[in-house]
Amino acid sequence: MFNDAVAARKHAHAEGLPHPSTAALSKALITAAKCTPERAWLGEVSAVVLQQALADADRAYQNFFASLKGKRAGARMGPPRFKRRVGAQSIRFTRNAKFSVLDNGRLRLPKIGDMRVVWSRELPSAPSSVTVVKTPTGKYYASFVVAVDDGADLLEPLAAPEAETGIDLGLKDFAVLRGGKVIENPKFFRRLERKLGKSQRVLARKAKGSANRAKARIRVAKVHERIKDARSDWVDKQVKTIVAENQGIYVEDLNVKGLSRGGHAKSMHDASFGMFLVRLESKAARAGRTFARVDRFFPSTRLCSLCGVLDGPSGIEGLKVRSWVCGCGAVHDRDQNAEINIRREGRRLVAEGHSDTRNASGQDVRPGRPGRPGNTREGQNEEPTRSGTAQAAPEPGTTVLLRR
């Protein structure tokens, strides 16, 4: 249905015809198509899931047009393309489909029947829609959209001054937190890479279309699923621990997409920094924690956390240096020094009210540099700046007010 909608709109564009509306496509591709022998099988499923496929195609075109006009943030989007047959499949039922969760715990879907469900949790409210997903390994999952209270996941505020941390992400160690706490990189893909390669070689030797090839494909899919599930579960546990132990959480706004294109692309994808940061920000917001992203160009690694001078290693060769000595005599561990600088910069952004955006929307929020007036408040603790000028760091044990 999605491909039919894309084909119809491509044809209209090629012929110079007006852009067909979703209502016109629904009448032609669903109502009229069911009356033809070639598409009579469309009547075997609920019409709601077909309408949702058309709605997805329409949303894809809206995003494409908004991107062309510059109204959509992010990289420029291309027009919707035809979907290929893949292992994962999904359908979505809305309230119009009259699906229901029965008292006996079963899920009733139109034209499918009552499905036995193993519930992972109790639904907090009546669902507005349900998406049934089939994984490449043949498992089925039901994902519900429900309404929850805004304060349902709020945690008790932590008043301790040390209950805040910067997070320095890396490939050697996944993350370094306050006090030198290290989260080791689990490397889920690397651990199962040999097993995955072996199963893929077995799949390549099977004849196309044979039953043995279908079985080999399932074995490959199971290895991928094991990697994905282990990584997702591990990320959720780390996020929960960090949010529970810290009132303020400050991270570096990494260019994950750009870093995933270099020589360490496989390791970057394996670490899943993007997944970690998205879930951490979402969980922190729901729990009432302070979360701020430090600008990606902030020199957290090169900046001396003691005197504020840009004296650290730089360039490609500098990535190999794990510890360095500043001109002031301080000996720094690369990652621990970066965590301290990220925490201070994140605290400053929150204090100045610029934590709602990634880089303060392009505004000049840096403290004053030599030769021009600064924008620090009188009596406020000053911190190191990107220019490398040293300013006084906060005294140990200083209480910092965080905005919730």
* Average pLDDT along the chain, 404 residues, taken 10 residues at a time: 96 94 95 94 94 96 94 90 90 94 94 94 93 95 92 85 90 91 94 96 96 96 96 96 95 88 88 94 94 92 88 77 86 89 92 61 40 38 40 41 38
Dist CA 324 CA 301 (whole Å):
10
**Considering only CA atoms, which of 118, 96, 100 is closest in space to residue 109?**
100
56 catalytic? Reply is no
pLDDT at 358: 41
pLDDT at 324: 84
Dist CA 55 CA 49 (whole Å):
10
Residues 275 and 352 in one domain: yes
Q: Last residue of a domain, which of 326, 345, 362? A: 362
Task: Say if residue 100 is exposed, middle or buried (CB neighbours under 10 Å; 0-12, 13-18, 19+).
Answer: middle
Residue among 4, 164, 252, 383 flagged as catalytic: 252
Name the residue type at position 58.
Answer: D
Residues 352 and 296 in one domain: yes
4 catalytic? Reply is no
- 209, part of any domain: no
pLDDT at 367: 42
Q: Last residue of a domain, which of 93, 120, 148? A: 148
Q: φ and ψ at 140, to 5 degrees?
A: -115, 135
- 290, part of any domain: yes
- 226, part of any domain: no
- 233, part of any domain: no
pLDDT at 382: 40
Within its chain, how far is the Cα of 216 from the centroid? 31
Residues 74 and 96 in one domain: no
Q: Domain count for the chain, please give it.
A: 3
- 291, part of any domain: yes
Tokens 């994808």: give the residue: 269
335 catalytic? Reply is yes
Contacts of 62 (CB under 8 A, 6+ apart): none
pLDDT at 150: 79
Residues 175 and 294 in one domain: yes
Q: Where are the beta strands (DSSP E) in 185-307?
A: 248-252, 290-294
- 221, part of any domain: no
Q: Is residue 312 within 8 Å of 304, Cβ to Cβ?
A: yes
Residues 169 and 308 in one domain: yes
pLDDT at 206: 97
Residue among 164, 270, 335, 382 flagged as catalytic: 335
| Distances from the Cα of 34 to the Cα of 1, 5, 22, 44, 291, angstroms | 12, 15, 17, 10, 52
Residues 250 and 357 in one domain: yes
Residues 269 and 310 in one domain: yes
Domain of 127 in residue numbering reads as: 85-148
Residues 247 and 311 in one domain: yes
Residues 250 and 279 in one domain: yes
- 196, part of any domain: no
Residue among 164, 168, 270, 383 flagged as catalytic: 168
Residues 23 and 59 in one domain: yes
* Antiparallel, parallel or unpaired: β 248-252 and 290-294: parallel
Residues 174 and 25 in one domain: no
- 206, part of any domain: no
Residues 144 and 78 in one domain: no
